[in-house]
Amino acid sequence: MGTVTFVDETTLGDRTASAPLAVPEERLPLRELIARRVALETGPEGYGAALARTLDAFSRNGFLVLVGDRQIEDPDETVALGPDTEVVFLRLVPLVGG
């Protein structure tokens, strides 16, 4: 069993980390990691709509996901999880006027 820490980060350098989440699996698709993150934030009510919005934002490059030092671009890609895995959600901040 490992732990995953979800980190919100912006291109401006702001970082906010969640409490570590115990994960019994050694490998999960990125889509499932995103779903668990959304479930932590929303609870059962509103989960489906929030997950759909989040996956849509990911598909439109609203944010990047980094696992360790590697960017994961495909939500169906399987990610290896270790004892202390950091999953960074890097929100992209548009340039002013761009």
Q: What is the pLDDT of residues 76-88, one digit of tens each?
A: 999 999 999 999 9
Cα(68)–Cα(66) distance, integer angstroms: 6
Q: Would you place residue 52 in the very low, low, confident or very high pLDDT band (cuts 50, 70, 90)?
A: very high
Q: CA-based Rg of the chain, rounded to a whole angstrom?
A: 13
Residue 89: DSSP 8-state: E
Give the 3-state secondary structure of residue 58. Answer: helix
Q: pLDDT tens digit string along 27-42? A: 999 999 999 999 999 9
pTM: 0.89
**Whole-number pLDDT of residue 93:** 67
Residue 43 has phi, psi (to 5 degrees) of 75, -175
* Inter-residue contact 45 to 92 (CB < 8 Å): no
